[in-house]
């Protein structure tokens, strides 16, 4: 099939960017979106032009590197998939496709489609862990039975890949889905409970410090999340945040 691409070109963080148009022919429906971008980049290099920079690594939907805003949607039109798992069969012959980077003040553009998401790392560093040393001298793994339901819910929250689609999608650039997924995972498990009060406060504080916006419950993040993380987690975090603020010393 033939497609027309309009791709964001931006030399650096403080430069002005613009959309650039490229025609693509002989695109196969079995190509992933990133493989199509590889072909485009190969063509550009052969023509002596600069290829588009974009983040990608595992190309199987789990590392969370890829981050393209395609036709106005984070990771494009597919549901529960990342850009690397989006295939060209999702588009029509002759279609014009707009490709942009994640846009958020907390995710500054590095170049073209590549953005800096280290703000997510700093939120985890603020408290997204259990304070246990790695000596291995803990109790036996089966010493504390965990109800399957809780374990499954914790797992569902833990499947977040930290890609940032929730932020890119949100009109407020809120990171509530990301933060609440980690808060939920750890607060649902007995191992995470002792620190749950401080954790939620610290992580939310850091989130605000990084410049992410507020949550107005539009639910767009849940729709665009490639891992189907539920906004129930946001509700859980809001409860935890409120009660922690009222009760923590």
Partner 1 sequence: MLDSRIPEGPLAEKWNTHKDNIRLVNPANKRDIDIIVVGTGLAGSSAAASLAELGYNVKSLCFQDSPRRAHSIAAQGGINASKNYQNDGDSVYRLFYDTVKGGDYRSREANVHRLAEVSSNIIDQCVAQGVPFAREYGGLLDNRSFGGVQVSRTFYAKGQTGQQLLLGAYSALSRQISKGKVEMLNRHEMMEVVKVDGKARGIIARNLVTGEIERHSAHAVVLCTGGYGNAFYLSTNAMGSNVSAAWKAHKQGSFFANPCFTQIHPTCIPVSGHYQSKLTLMSESLRNDGRIWVPKSKDDVEAILNGSKLPTDLKEEERDYYLERRYPAFGNLVPRDVASRAAKERCDAGFGVNKTGHAVYLDFASAFVRYGKTEALTRGIQNPSDETIVELGREVIKSKYGNLFDMYKQITDDNPYETPMMIYPAVHYTMGGLWVDYNLMTTVPGLFAAGEANFSDHGANRLGASALMQGLADGYFVLPYTIGDYLADDIRTGKISTETQEFDAAEKKVKDEIQALISNNGDTPVDDFHRRLGLIMWEKCGMARNEKDLKQAIAEIQELRKEFHSNVLVPGSENAFNPELEKATRLADFLELGEAMCLDALTRAESCGGHFREESQTPDGEALRDDENYTFVSAWEYTGTPSEAKLHKEDLIYDNIELKQRSYK
Q: Which is nearer to partner 1, 155 or 216 (CB)?
A: 155
Q: Is 80 left (phi over 0), alpha (psi -120 to 50) or beta?
A: left
Shortest Cβ distance from residue 8 to partner 1 (Å)? Answer: 15
The upper half-sphere exposure of residue 80, i.e. CA atoms within 13 Å in the direction of its Cβ, equals 4
Shortest Cβ distance from residue 161 to partner 1 (Å)? Answer: 7
Shortest Cβ distance from residue 4 to partner 1 (Å)? Answer: 19
The values of phi and psi at residue 69, to 5°, are -100, 105
Q: Which is nearer to partner 1, 18 or 141 (CB)?
A: 141
What whole-number distance in Å separates Cα of residue 165 and Cα of residue 161? 10
The values of phi and psi at residue 97, to 5°, are -115, 125
Q: Which is nearer to partner 1, 2 or 118 (CB)?
A: 118
Q: Which is nearer to partner 1, 142 or 171 (CB)?
A: 142
Shortest Cβ distance from residue 223 to partner 1 (Å)? Answer: 17
The values of phi and psi at residue 103, to 5°, are -120, 115
Q: Which residue has the tokens 């974009």?
A: 54
């Amino acid at each position: 099939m033939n497609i027309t691409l309009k791709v964001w070109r931006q030399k650096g963080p403080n430069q002005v960017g613009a959309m650039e148009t490229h025609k693509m022919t002989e695109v196969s429906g079995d190509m992933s979106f990133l493989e199509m971008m590889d072909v485009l980049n190969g063509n550009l290099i052969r023509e002596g032009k600069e290829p588009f920079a974009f983040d990608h690594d595992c190309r199987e939907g789990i590392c969370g590197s890829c981050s393209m805003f395609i036709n106005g949607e984070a990771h494009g039109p597919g549901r529960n998939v990342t850009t690397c798992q989006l295939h060209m069969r999702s588009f029509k012959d002759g279609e014009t496709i707009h490709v942009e980077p994640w846009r958020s003040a907390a995710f500054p553009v590095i170049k073209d489609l590549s953005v800096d998401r280290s703000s997510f790392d700093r939120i985890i560093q603020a408290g997204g862990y259990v304070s246990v040393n790695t000596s291995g001298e803990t109790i036996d793994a089966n010493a504390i039975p965990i109800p399957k339901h809780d374990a499954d819910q914790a797992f569902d929250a833990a499947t977040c890949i930290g890609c940032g689609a929730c932020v890119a999608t949100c009109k407020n650039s809120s990171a509530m889905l990301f933060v609440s997924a980690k808060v939920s995972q750890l607060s649902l498990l007995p191992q995470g409970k002792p620190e749950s009060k401080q954790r939620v406060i610290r992580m939310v504080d850091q989130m605000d410090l990084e410049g992410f916006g507020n949550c107005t419950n539009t639910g767009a993040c849940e729709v665009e999340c490639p891992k189907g993380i539920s906004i129930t987690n946001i509700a859980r975090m809001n409860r935890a945040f409120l009660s922690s603020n009222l009760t923590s010393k």
